[in-house]
Structure 1
Amino acid sequence: MKRIPLFASLEDREFEKLLSRITERRFYKNQVVLLEEETANFMYVVFTGKVRAVHLGGDGTERILAVHKRGDVFGEMALLDGETSPATVIAMEESDIGLLSKDNFQELFLANETVLHQLIAILCRRLRETRLILKAIALSDAELRLRSILNHLSLLHGVRDDRGVVIALRLTHRELAGYASVSRETVTRLLHRLSEEGDLEMLENRNILLKPGFSEKVELL
């Protein structure tokens, strides 16, 4: 936890107090971490695993707004303004999550100027990420939309090696469809075509390898 930017500036005494105030819970794959109406109660810290923040449509479909992985925090915005967030958070795999109550959040963080600067940086990054996603899903062509989303995910979660960039998220086709606002069938068809064209490779663990040719074509978008 000390390596998490939001907590790194805390003095040892403050950090020990933070540890004593956080409650840890385990969530299993596809278990709901929190519902929209609960978002103003806690700040959440991902200790292990991954979760997705989604908007649930009336027909049960999911549109993924963000993925939070180990070391990420979420829920801080609702604690700052008291409003609920229009998202439900669901575990993508077995995950250990820390919960910090609103009262403890205000006591430990809002009086610390350095932490406030970190919070501002987090909120600015979230705003930029949201703009990129909105720009991507506004594209009328499904392939361009998927390419843009994959590029965005590579910037957030990519690991570069001599083959290209691996998106280390283990996303299902359904989850990718939720990100790109297209059907699962469309994602499956496009991934197969992009793989045949040599732009990407579907790895055994559901990670996606974006090859150099993929990046070159994205630059033309």
Structure 2
Amino acid sequence: MLYKSLWVIDDTDINELLLKYTDSQHTYTEGSLIYQQDDAQDYLFFLVNGRIKVNLIDSKGTEKTLAIHEPGSFFGETAFFDQYPSFTNAQALKDSVVLFFTKKQLTNLFTDYPEIVFQIFESMGRKIRLLAFQVEYMSFLKIEQRVVALLLSLFESFGKECSINNTSLYDNCTFKGNCIEGHHLEITITDQEIAEMIGTRREAVTKAINNLKKQKLICKQKRTICCPDLNKLNDFLTNSD
């Protein structure tokens, strides 16, 4: 029913189902905050349309992106379930429609559709895994290695294998109906979003991405990223000084 990932592909069936269990639907314009750090959180949120960024901002104003949600995903689980104030912010990256669920509404939903409970747990598990990745690698790796480590993690969760279709991987990379051999990410991500996730500047990420493209380890067109050989990308990370 739900796409099993942090960031999910729109599913009209799940949207229609969830609307039967809540009458609380809110629209946010680009840049609006759904909730902030230290807010009490009485709702679990579900993104119907748009794009949501979940981040942390320290006392110096430094931002750390933890996740970016596409339509079809629950978010705000931690503060909702543990009943402590939220430790993150959620902000609309573009105009977004969000459903709010109370505990009573979720109890009714889970009673009728218990499989959704496990899908939420799986999504939470993936988020924890990504956070663990950030803690483990961000302190020890150079920026280019951080980019590769993050991409490998994303390919593991959101990569889709594709075959070549009479197109040049690097000279004709338009992603308009032509598949390439290897894997591509089913989610889109910008250099700025990568930078916020690995704790560095966008310019440094763009430089690293360009270096990886020159070595033909990845192919990137706008927000879409492909990798012709995940083994080579992994070898790059393993063998880098």
Counterpart in 2 of 1:207? 224
The answer as to whether partners of 2:44 and 2:77 remain within 8 angstroms in 1 is: yes
In the alignment, structure 1 residue 31 sits paired with structure 2 residue 32 = yes
Counterpart in 2 of 1:10? none
**Residue 189 of structure 2 aligns to a residue in which SS?**
coil
In the alignment, structure 1 residue 170 sits paired with structure 2 residue 188 = yes
Deviation of 1:193 after TM superposition, in Å, equals 1.1
**Residue 92 of structure 1 aligns to a residue in which SS?**
strand
Partners in 2 of 1:116 and 1:126 — Cα distance? 15
Counterpart in 1 of 2:167? none
Counterpart in 2 of 1:60? 61
**Residue 25 of structure 2 aligns to a residue in which SS?**
strand
Partners in 2 of 1:215 and 1:33 — Cα distance? 40
Counterpart in 1 of 2:232? 216
Two-structure CA RMSD over aligned residues (Å)? 2.9
**Residue 94 of structure 1 aligns to a residue in which SS?**
strand
Deviation of 1:107 after TM superposition, in Å, equals 5.5
1:130-149 to structure 2, matched below 5 A, reads: 130-149=131-150
The answer as to whether partners of 1:18 and 1:108 remain within 8 angstroms in 2 is: no
1:88-107 to structure 2, matched below 5 A, reads: 88-106=89-107
Counterpart in 1 of 2:215? 197
Identity of aligned residues (%): 19
Deviation of 1:4 after TM superposition, in Å, equals 2.8
Deviations along 1:114-163, one digit per CA (max 9) or x if unpaired, are: 65555444433332232123223133311111100111122233333222
Using structure 2 for the length normalisation, give the TM-score.
0.73
| Bigger shift: residues 24-33 or 173-182 | 24-33
Structure 1 unmatched runs, 5+: 7-14
The answer as to whether partners of 1:199 and 1:210 remain within 8 angstroms in 2 is: yes
The residue type paired with residue 96 of structure 1 is V
Partners in 1 of 2:17 and 2:205 — Cα distance? 46
Deviation of 1:71 after TM superposition, in Å, equals 1.8
Deviations along 1:22-66, one digit per CA (max 9) or x if unpaired, are: 422222333222212335221011222321211113333321111
Residue 120 to residue 217, structure 1, CA distance change in 2 (3 Å): closer
Counterpart in 2 of 1:72? 73
The answer as to whether partners of 1:151 and 1:215 remain within 8 angstroms in 2 is: no
Deviation of 1:88 after TM superposition, in Å, equals 0.6
Q: 4+ residue stretches of structure 1 with deviation over 6 A? A: 15-18, 110-113
The answer as to whether partners of 2:161 and 2:183 remain within 8 angstroms in 1 is: yes
Q: How many residues align?
A: 209
Counterpart in 1 of 2:48? 47
Residue 50 to residue 128, structure 1, CA distance change in 2 (3 Å): same
The residue type paired with residue 30 of structure 1 is G
Partners in 1 of 2:74 and 2:224 — Cα distance? 23
**Residue 93 of structure 1 aligns to a residue in which SS?**
strand
Q: Which has the higher helix share?
A: 1
The residue type paired with residue 200 of structure 2 is V
Partners in 1 of 2:98 and 2:211 — Cα distance? 38
The residue type paired with residue 171 of structure 1 is I
| Bigger shift: residues 51-60 or 18-27 | 18-27
